[in-house]
Amino acid sequence: MESSVLKHPRIAEAVETLVAAGGGRITYDVGGGGRETLLAAAARLAAETNAPLTIVEARSLHSDVRAFVREVQPQARSAVISAEEAALQPAGSISGVLAVHADVLRDADVRTPLLAMAHSADHLLVARHDYSDTTLDALATPGLVLRLRDLMPSAPGPAPVTVSPPPMDMSVALRLVGQANRDVLPDQVEFFDEMAEVLERTDPAEVKQRVGELRSKYEATIELARRRRAAPGPTDPARTPRDHGQEQSATHQQHRTQGTGRT
C-alpha cells in the first residue's frame, strides 16, 4: 500500500466525502486505491472523533495496514484483526470506528458476527470490489465508486491529425482495378469491384497495405487468366480445311445467284 495515491484528486475527494459523512462504502477496481481510501478515511475519522479504530482485514496484510495507518494518522488508536478473530468478539463489544474490507466476507461463517459488529459501531466504513459480498452494504452509506479510468491523467492528448491518402498509391490502385476489370475472367470482376469500393472508403493509413495486397492478387489473377486463354476451350473447336472450303463454296454460290438476278 502506497500513501502517495492519496494525493490523487479523485481519491482525496473520496476520503473527504467518507469523513464528512461519518462513514460509507467505496467500490473500486483492482488497483484503484480503494483499500488506501478506506484506511485513510477511517483513521482520520477516528482521530477527529477521538474514537478507537478497529480494522478487519486479511491476516496477510496486517503488518502493511498497521504501517499505513501509522504513516497517515499517527495519533489514531487502532487495532487490526482478522475476520476469524472478529467473529469471536462478544456482541456489542465494538464501538468507535469499524473499517472492513469486504474480501473477508467470503467466509460465510463470519458474515453474521461482522454484521452484529457493524450495528454496534458508531461509524462503519467498507471497501469492496464489484464481485464482493454485499452483507454490509446497506449499513455503509453513502456508496462511492472509484474506477481506474477515473485515475488516469485527465489532460487531453494531441488532436488527431487528418492525413490525405497518398495520391500516387490511390491512383495506382484504382488503375489496377480498372485494368483488372478489363483483363480478368468474368468470375473475377466482382472481386475487383469490391476492392475498388473498399479502397475509396478506407482509412488513409491502410491504403498502402491494401494497394500491396491488391497488386499481388491482381498479378496472380492475370496469370491465371492468361493460362486459361492459352488452353483451347471446349466451345471453340478448331476449323478443318473442309469447313473452310464449304464456306467458300456457299459464298460463291450466293454471288452467282445475286449476279444472275441483275439483268
Write the CB contacts of 56 (distance below 8 Å, at least 6 apart in sequence). Answer: 81, 82, 83, 86, 98, 99, 100, 101, 104, 114, 117
Write the CB contacts of 24 (distance below 8 Å, at least 6 apart in sequence). Answer: 17, 18, 41, 125, 126, 140, 141, 142, 143, 144
Rounded CA Rg of the chain: 41
The whole-number pLDDT of residue 184 equals 52
The whole-number pLDDT of residue 67 equals 96
Determine the residue type at 257: T
The H-or-E segment that residue 192 falls in is helix 186-201
Whether residue 138 contacts residue 115, with contact meaning beta carbons closer than 8 Å, is answered with no
The answer as to CATH 3.90.1170.50 being correct for domain 3-151 is no
The whole-number pLDDT of residue 256 equals 47
3-state secondary structure of 87: helix
- Local mean pLDDT, 10-residue blocks, the chain (263 residues): 90 96 95 94 96 95 96 93 91 90 93 93 96 94 90 65 52 61 53 58 63 72 76 55 49 48 42
Q: Which residue has the cell 482525496?
A: 12
Domain boundaries, the chain: 3-151, 163-231
The whole-number pLDDT of residue 252 equals 47
The whole-number pLDDT of residue 232 equals 66
